[in-house]
């Protein structure tokens, strides 16, 4: 792999156009100990809509567990309903029992209501249909 020698070389690494970028918080209703956290979502138009981001998940059962996942997948925007869905795979590290670590892989599914300000997130092994809400939007350029 060649080392970039200019700003143009760095820009050439980019592909597609970022159409949405935001940060969400999520929680498990009815339990302060159950999984909760944040995730970023970036949707890029590269032929089809691609989704990527990072999730930070904390649980408080017994000792605190902290999981960091990076995920990639496909996003679909439904022009008829206004819903946006993301299906991907997350991979990362779980820290538990005072600094023990374990590799984690999990399916990630996100469903956002029209306007993309709220919805639900399912993270395999952590929780299903956890409410999520947009806390910060960087770019909102999705087709409407």
Structural domains in the chain, CATH included, are 14-140 (2.40.160)
Report yes or no: 134 and 41 within 8 Å, Cβ to Cβ.
Answer: no
Q: Which residue has the tokens 């996003």?
A: 75
pLDDT score at 76: 95
pLDDT score at 10: 75
Q: What is the pLDDT of residues 57-101, one digit of tens each?
A: 999 877 889 999 999 999 999 989 999 999 999 999 999 988 899
Helix (H, G, I), strand (E, B) or coil at 31: coil
Across the range 21-50, mean pLDDT stands at 92
Neighbours of 96 (CB within 10 A): 15
Give pTM, 2 decimals: 0.88
Distance CA 53, CA 71 (A): 5
- The torsion angles phi and psi of 100, rounded to 5 degrees, stand at -75, 145
Report yes or no: 84 and 58 within 8 Å, Cβ to Cβ.
Answer: no
Q: What does the mean pLDDT of the chain come to? A: 90
């Amino acid at each position: 792999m060649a080392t970039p020698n200019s700003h143009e070389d760095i820009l050439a690494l980019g592909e597609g156009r970022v159409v949405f970028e935001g940060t969400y918080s999520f929680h498990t209703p009815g339990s302060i100990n159950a999984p909760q956290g944040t995730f970023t979502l970036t949707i890029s138009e590269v032929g089809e809509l691609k989704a990527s981001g990072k999730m930070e998940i904390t649980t408080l059962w017994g000792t605190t567990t902290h999981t960091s996942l990076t995920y990639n997948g496909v996003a679909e925007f439904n022009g008829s309903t206004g819903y946006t869905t993301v299906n991907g795979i997350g991979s990362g590290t779980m820290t538990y029992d005072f600094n023990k670590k374990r590799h984690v892989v999990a399916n990630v599914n996100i469903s956002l209501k029209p306007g993309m300000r709220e919805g639900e997130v399912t993270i395999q092994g952590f929780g299903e249909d956890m409410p999520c809400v947009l806390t910060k939007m960087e770019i909102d350029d999705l087709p409407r």
